[in-house]
Structures are given as C-alpha cells and as structure tokens.
Amino acid sequence: MPLAPLPIWTVDFRSDGRGVLRWSSLLKVEELDAAAVAAEMAAAAATAEEYEEMLRVVKASAARIRWRLRPHSKRRLLNDILFLCTGLRPVVLMDYGGTMPELQDNLCSLLHHAQQESSILSPLRLMVIKDMLYLIHAKGLAEHASPNTEENGALHEFVSIQDLFSANFPVDADVDLPIIQPETKGQMSEIAEGTTMDNFGFRIADGTSLVIDLSPFLESAQIALPSLNGWLLGYPVTYLFCNGSAETATQNLSKHSLHIYRIYAVRCRQSAVKQSEQELMSFSVPCDMSTKRGEEPWAKSFLAHMNEKIKQSNHVWASVRMEIEVFHSQSGLIVL
C-alpha cells in the first residue's frame, strides 16, 4: 500500500515581488494504517544486505564503464540511488557528474550494466525535460503523480502537469521492464533479432525505453521549470512561477531573506560502524512566510510524512531530521 500523497504548499511569487503562501488541494492526505503499511512493505522489501550489494553493483558498474566521477559526486550518486530504491524520493535531479549529453550516456551505460546484476535497480529510468536530466523510480513517480485532485483556479497548471505525468507513469504499470541494450559502434551484430531502435539510440526488446523525454509534451505548459522541479523533486513548498514572469519573479525573490530547510536521512547502524547521515533534499521558503521555522504546519506535516516513509524501510534508515539556515537577501543567493 503506497503512502497517501503529501499536500503541497505553493509560494505564489508574482512579478510585483509579493508572495502568498497557499495550501493546495491538489494532493489530499488520508488516514494511514501504519501497521498495515509497514507489514506489507516489509514482506516485499529487500534486506539491508541486498541494498548494500546493490550499491556495490553500482560502484562496480561505474568502474566497468570507466566513468571517472569525483568522490563527492560518486557518494551523491550512490545516496540518490538508495533514496530512490528505498522509496524516500521519486525523482532526483542530475545536476552533478558531468554535462549533457555525456552525463546521459554514462548513466544509460551504468544502468544497463547494473540492472542485469541487481533487480532492485529495475525500476530506475532517466527522464529528460529540456536541458534537465533526472533519475527517476518509475513506480515511485507513478505514485507521486497519481491524480487525486480537485479544481483550484490558482493551481490549474499543476493539475494539468500532474495529469500528464500520471498518464505517462501509470501506478499499475509493470516496472520489471526488460534490460535495454545500448547501441555502440560495432555492436549491430550482437543485437538479437526482433529488437527495435528507439529515439535515444537504445535497442530494446519490446519498445520500452530507458530514457523518457517529456520536453515536447511540456512546450505549451505555462508553468515555469523551477515550479515543476519543486513538485517533481518532492518539496513540500514550491514556488509558483509562470513562464512569462519567471525571470522577474526570481529576481524579486533574491531580495528576500530565505530559510533554507535541509532534510537529512540517518542510516541504520551496521555492526560497529558509526551511524551516518546523508542530505536527502534542501529547499527554501521566504523568512516572512515561515516565521515559525520548523513549527510551521506544512513543515511538521512533511516531517511526519517522511517518518512514515522511513518506517517502510527501517532496515536501511533509522530516522530523518531537519536543519534550518537563514540566507539574508544581501547574500545574492537564490535557492529554489
């Protein structure tokens, strides 16, 4: 049983510099039977040792394809994959590890090799929107985008975007998709008969692609990419920018002091190894709209929601915590 989607709050930051924090009925909270959820997930979940083996497979695959990641980027990639596979996040933004198109090529090769050795990685896909690359968990994104909506004029674009993602990622889809064979020079004779070439240079057995490009579908959307990112990446608060005013609104946002919320996931202790924690995500809210800091209703609701996710993978994660920093307007830093 998937968790009920978390309600989101939007900061409607207009070109005149005024911001309004709104609660969205886009996603509704339902009562959860925590015991039933934990029991069902525990029955299907991989063990902690299997997740450790999965991470070893990823590291070995990166070495096999000679992807020279910096140590910090390698740690971040391993953490992000673990976040995806344990259900803590549906989507991560690949803003590290290189530039396009090499970054996409390296990730495709990595997944191609790693998915053959670890079934835990089977639901992972790449998603492209314009010049942005995302690593996604197909089932997790399907549940994140599952429509449970009521009309709300201010959030009409979010509703239409949610419908688009829901159509492309149905909840009941089979995520155990066939492994995709990357096409390289000299490999034509190695590809089995009956396979086809997709638009991204990958040969596949039944038309399923490892890379999903949603750029053409979003060309007519009025919502700006930073707002879409806020929802995709699972932030509890996101800025509602329209394409026509996004640049001006972003400039106005830089004049406001911001609270930077950082969420950390704490790993379960393994034997005598010291307990470690990794940054799960970070997002910003204007200080004058978050005066209660961690006591804001949406912040408490978000932490409760994340703790429910932690319970479903308590063989990997022990807890989640929040840190809050202040960046003053004169710093010139914009964190969306």
Q: What pLDDT is recorded for position 43?
A: 36
- Distance, in Å, from the CA atom of 235 to the CA atom of 144, rounded to the nearest integer, reads 12
Per-position b or e across 115-129, b if 16+ CB within 10 A of its CB? beebebbbbbbbbbb
Which residues, including other chains, have CB under 8 Å from residue 231's CB and lie 6 or more apart? 8, 158, 161, 162, 238
The burial class, CB within 10 Å (0-12 / 13-18 / 19+), for 274 is: exposed
177: pLDDT strictly greater than 90: no
Express each pLDDT in 204-231 by its tens digit: 333 357 899 988 878 888 888 888 899 8
Residue boundaries of the structural domains of the chain: 1-30+222-336, 46-144+178-219
Over the chain, what is the mean pLDDT? 77
- What ranges in 189-330 are assigned the alpha helix state H? 225-232, 246-253, 297-312
202: pLDDT strictly greater than 60: no
Residue 128, beta-bridge partner list: 133, 213
Model confidence at 20, pLDDT cuts 50, 70, 90, reads low
Both tokens of residue 33? 């039977």
Express each pLDDT in 263-283 by its tens digit: 999 999 766 566 789 999 999
- Distance, in Å, from the CA atom of 304 to the CA atom of 298, rounded to the nearest integer, reads 10
Model confidence at 158, pLDDT cuts 50, 70, 90, reads low
